[in-house]
Amino acid sequence: MSRNIIIDTDPGQDDAVAILLALASPELNVLGLTCVAGNVPLARTSHNARQVCELAGRADLPVYAGCDRPMGRGLVTAEHVHGDSGLDGAVLPEPQMPLQSQHAVDFIVETLRQAPAKSITLCSLGPLTNIGTALQQAPDIAERIAQIVLMGGAYFEVGNITPAAEFNIFVDPEAAEIVFKSGIDLVVAPLDVTHKALTRKAWIADLRTQNSRACDTVAGWTDFFERFDTEKYGSEGAPLHDPCVIAYLIAPHLFTGRHINVEIETQSELTRGMTVADWWRVTDRPANALFLCDINAVGFFNLITQRVARL
Ligand code: BDR
Ligand code: CA
């Protein structure tokens, strides 16, 4: 039986690959995409999400726009990583499918309330604003969520947008705090795991031999996306963060991690958005998340190619 998921996202090339991977995978039943402001502003993320659905041949999938800014702060975006469009690196047609008129937060709340308890998993690929807002407005949904699997945070790798913080958590630490304190079953794919799966030229070249428009598009996005990280880290390739969330749901054996306590720093100007992860279990704070740390990178990239080539 396939698992019902809602993907909350701010596409972003790596978000886009994650969406394609989900839509190509029979293990997952995507109920809808909820867009949030993050890598680029909301108007752009909700535009990009629809382009990606159409690329996957899924113009039928409902796409919702959600929060256009973090819960308690101004928006920080990442055009310096993703380009002005958020999806630089491949040219896609203007989306024809509609954006739903319902607000993403209302969709999340209504869908969870109407479905059997614990039958829906939330996949978060961007700042946690939509999910944090939904939990604040409707605390009763917490016990209805099967699991939240999210890309965000870091412990050993510390930060990518500041020395102390990963982008998704940094953008909306108040929303992240709500999620991490919610008591919901959490799986976290931090930079510690995503930085262990770097794209390789050979993988991109292989995508281009698949005779698939979706694979060619992923290759174009990856070419663009890589340049930022290769310049920054001096590495050969770049981490493809967000597909780790979807890969975890399809093939959890590719990952290992620890059940630990993770708290979010919301106060300090210096370290705001830091995920204070008790990896060594030096406190008696109770575990609230499975914090992933290792990944079988070869298996991960093979999975993406095999699945996306089916679209
Ligand atoms: C995260 O930030 C965004 O730039 C990516 O899409 C990913 O979700 C990585 O820090
Ligand atoms: Ca993202």
Helix (H, G, I), strand (E, B) or coil at 198: strand
Q: Which of 76, 242, 246 to mutate to test the pocket of ligand 1 (most atoms within 8 A of CB)?
A: 242
What the chain holds in terms of domains, given with CATH numbers, is: 3-308 (3.90.245.10)
Ligand nearest to the CA of 80: 1
- Angstrom CA distances, 185 to 26, 95, 147, 148, 245, stand at 23, 35, 5, 6, 14
For the stretch 116-163, pLDDT in tens is: 999 999 999 999 999 999 999 999 999 999 999 999 999 999 999 999
In this structure, what token pair is assigned to residue 228? 């930022």
> Considering the entire predicted model, what is its pTM?
0.98
Q: Is residue 100 within 8 Å of 66, Cβ to Cβ?
A: no
- In this predicted model, what pLDDT tens digit does every residue of 210-251 receive, in sequence order? 999 999 999 999 999 887 777 777 777 889 999 999 999 999
- 114 CA distance to ligand 1 middle (Å): 31
Best CA proximity match to 171, nearest among 45, 307, 28, 24 = 45
Q: Which of 8, 14, 125, 191 to mutate to test the pocket of ligand 1 (most atoms within 8 A of CB)?
A: 14
**Among 242, 270, 289, CA closest to 17:** 242
Q: Give the pairing of strands 275-277 and 262-264.
A: antiparallel
Residue 76: which of 25, 103, 41 has the closest Cα?
A: 41
Looking at ligand 1, which atom is closest to the CA of residue 10? 6
Q: What angle do CA 255, 259, 265 make, to 5 degrees?
A: 105
Pocket of ligand 1, beta carbon within 6 A: 12, 14-15, 39, 78, 81, 125-126, 151, 160, 166-168, 241-242
